[in-house]
A and B are shown apart, each in its own frame.
Chain A
Amino acid sequence: MAQVSSIANEQTSTPLSSSTSITLRISRFNPEHDESSGFMEFSVPVQKWTTVLEAILEVKKHFDHSVAVRYSCRQATCGSCGMIINGKPRLACFTKISELNSNVVTVEPMNNFPVIRDLAVKFEKLFDSHQKIKPFLIRDDTELESDEKEFLQSPEEVEQYIQFANCIKCGLCNSACPTMATDSSFVGPQALAQAYRYVADTRDKGKDSRLKIIDDSHGIWRCHFAGSCSQVCPKGVDPAMGIQLLRGYLLGFRS
């Protein structure tokens, strides 16, 4: 990345009624023609409710429309706008600039994901790992007959897995995981937490096949319970808990 510029004093074409502004440092990298990444700095007016995503979109609108960022729902539901914000993986739409307590906000692409451009990363491996653990109910009687009722569960049975069903596949957990940082073959906390989600579901009958998939040297045994995945999850999924509970099945603590 050759060009690093600062246009901190430039005025926006549509001034906002804001008394404060922050410096937004955006990582720029295009793998097609850049050797390394660099930062561009922009002075962005902010309100106390301004999110990091809104600040990035402000830059795209008024300063540099070529900044690459993936986003969609703007409400922490689609899992598209994960990025490293001031050193930690977070959702840009779910992170208010005011809560960062800094006048300088640095945004970078998520670690442990190949970079498409700037802040956008490839999710293929995440989705492949997710698919690998069979993220669906496995039953012999898959199709319901017309006179049958749905599969009933008690509230207690739902509690066993509902937390893990909140996963939006944003990849923040995989980005924070220290094992993912060094092991390219590790299945990752996202997929392991989802394996637990289905294993703990009383409607599911695929426990043995799923445990066989994750019982691998690059599977569940590579998790060392650092817990960083749970600390960055924006939906309260707590992958570290799911992984340890899942390991309990393999170690014979649970059945």
Chain B
Amino acid sequence: MANDEHKEGIKGMANPGRYGIERVAYWMMRLSGLGLLAYFIGHIYETSNILRGQVGWDEVLELTQTTEAHIVLAIVIGMCVFHTVNGVRVMLGHGGIGVGKPARPDYPYEPASQNYRHKIGIYSAILLAAIAMMYGLAVMFGE
């Protein structure tokens, strides 16, 4: 094995479903974070075109009015909403809020930290992201 430490590496995230919705949320949090970072860099490039004057600015704005750009923006809206809502859930969990109380475990040892509150939080984040994306698409393509 090339890897002496036998690390699972990034490919360990390739099948997040085997550990349940919490691992899927972890995986989506990473992806949406990277996606938003990429958008942020692109957005700085986009707005910096204002330095090229009215003509340059109009050229860039034209690029954002295409079907492809609208779809990208809808994905950005979804990533933004999911990252925000799931981020609030994770931050609360990091403070020890909603992770359950220590107690003598009974078989089959359902972990209290993976409780319905957090599952609701994750599904809410996904649902709100989907609604926001649909609203965004309706606004962008409805004009």
Contacts and interface: CB of A to CB of B under 8 A. Distances in A.
A237 B105 contact: yes
A241 B10 contact: no
A50 interface: no
A184 B96 contact: no
Contacts of B118: 227
A253 B97 contact: yes
Interface footprint category on B: 35 or more
A240 B105 contact: no
Contacts of B26: 178, 224-227
B20 interface: yes
Most B CB atoms within 10 A — which of A121, A164, A178, A254?
A: A178
A248 B93 CA distance: 9
Interface string A156-171: 0001111110100000
7 contacts: A87-B18, A226-B22, A227-B22, A230-B111, A241-B99, A244-B93, A244-B95
A234 B109 CA distance: 8
Given A176-B19, A224-B26, A253-B96, A235 B109 contact: yes
A140 B87 CA distance: 42
Contacts of A226: 19, 22-23, 25-26
Interface stretch (B1-9, B49-57, B124-132): B1-9
A32 B79 CA distance: 46
Interface in B67-110: 90, 93-97, 99-100, 102-107, 109
A226 B13 CA distance: 11
